[in-house]
């Protein structure tokens, strides 16, 4: 695995390390509003990784946060990659939406991964995020992750290499001052960077023993609840009951078109339980209190009863 990434990126294969990188979810606004935002976010991630000699193994752009699994020879390069991504996307977001510094003060996590099985689970967790977030029913349906960069053949051969562009043309059409010579990037008819040309698909495939079935089985069955606890931010905001109830009222209006939690039916309360757990980092006991459910039922709804010991949430 190290040898492949080293050969592709020019890194010292003896020093390559794997990291999970993510930003904390924005509470009060969207990070990506439409397809153009997502496309530009992917482009910025590719350019930032190239500048700082970081290889992206997996990524997922969600509405209010991002995940990356990256390979680098040291943590400092990963920090520079993340800071560069946050700075460049914030500039773009401000130009387009008028909101300055959207990612400047957003908390981030960089966690080094050493165990191969754990890396597999983390990649599966990253790619399954849109399913857990209720955006799609199947991870393969989500357009803004790297999920379809693996076991898909050599799709990049269908596109043009960035090296075929003149330097000035590349800067104008790709909206970057980064010198991309030697990047190996490909672009499509819209001058968007093709994910297969910068995602380390072969590395990920080798992690899953070059088995498509093994890969999709892990993505479908990874225990996201456990991974979220293990990957949790140490600085996550925890709301008291009153604060949580106040924030729930906005969610009830936006998601269910109702005015109070008391108007939600059982099915809607179950959905709300999942939202509070994933988005507001509430524990099972607190969710049970504010929704009026038994704690054991909440643990079953969240899928925690069989995987975690009582009292760990």
Contact 261, 244 (CB under 8 A): no
Residue 159: what pLDDT? 83
pLDDT tens for each residue of 229-248: 666 543 455 566 776 787 78
Please give the Cα distance from 223 to 70 (Å, whole number).
21
Element (H, E) at 60: strand 55-61
For the four alpha carbons of 178, 181, 183 and 186, in that order, the dihedral sign comes to positive
Amino acid 305: pLDDT: 55
Mean pLDDT of the chain: 83
The residue assigned the tokens 């069989």 is 306
Percent share of the chain, pLDDT over 90:
43
pLDDT, position 90: 95
pLDDT tens, 138-176? 999 999 999 999 998 765 567 888 777 777 777 677 767
pTM listed for this prediction:
0.70
- Burial readout 277-302 (b: 16 or more C-beta within 10 A, e: otherwise): bbebbbbbebbbbbbebebebbbebb
* Predicted local distance difference test score (pLDDT) of residue 239: 64
Max Cα separation, the chain? Answer: 64
Determine what percent of the chain is predicted with pLDDT higher than 70. Answer: 84
pLDDT the model gives residue 15: 63
């Amino acid at each position: 695995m190290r040898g492949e990434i080293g050969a592709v990126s020019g890194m010292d294969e003896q020093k390559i390390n794997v990291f999970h990188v993510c930003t904390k979810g924005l509470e009060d606004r969207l990070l990506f509003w439409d397809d153009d935002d997502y496309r530009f976010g992917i482009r910025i991630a590719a350019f930032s990784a190239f500048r700082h000699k970081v290889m992206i193994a997996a990524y997922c752009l969600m509405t209010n946060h991002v995940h990356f699994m990256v390979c680098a020879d040291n943590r400092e390069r990963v920090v520079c990659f993340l800071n560069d991504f946050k700075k460049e996307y914030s500039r773009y977001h401000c130009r387009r939406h008028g909101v300055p510094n959207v990612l400047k003060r957003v908390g981030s996590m960089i966690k080094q991964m050493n165990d191969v099985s754990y890396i597999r689970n983390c990649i599966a967790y990253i790619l399954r995020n849109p399913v857990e977030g209720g955006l799609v029913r199947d991870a393969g349906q989500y357009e803004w992750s790297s999920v379809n960069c693996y076991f898909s053949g050599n799709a990049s051969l269908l596109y043009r290499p960035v090296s075929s562009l003149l330097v000035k043309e590349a800067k104008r059409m790709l909206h970057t001052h980064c010198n991309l010579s030697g990047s190996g990037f490909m672009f499509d008819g819209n001058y968007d960077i093709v994910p297969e040309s910068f995602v380390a698909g072969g590395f990920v495939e080798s992690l899953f023993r070059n088995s498509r079935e093994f890969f999709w089985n892990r993505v479908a069955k990874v225990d996201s609840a456990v991974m979220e606890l293990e990957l949790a931010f140490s600085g996550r905001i925890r709301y008291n009951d009153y604060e949580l109830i106040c924030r729930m009222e906005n969610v009830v209006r936006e998601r269910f078109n109702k005015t109070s939690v008391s108007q939600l039916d059982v099915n809607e309360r179950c959905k709300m339980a999942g939202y509070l757990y994933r988005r507001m980092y509430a524990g099972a006991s607190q969710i049970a209190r504010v929704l009026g459910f038994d704690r054991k039922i909440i643990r079953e709804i969240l899928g925690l009863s069989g995987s975690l010991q009582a009292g760990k949430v």
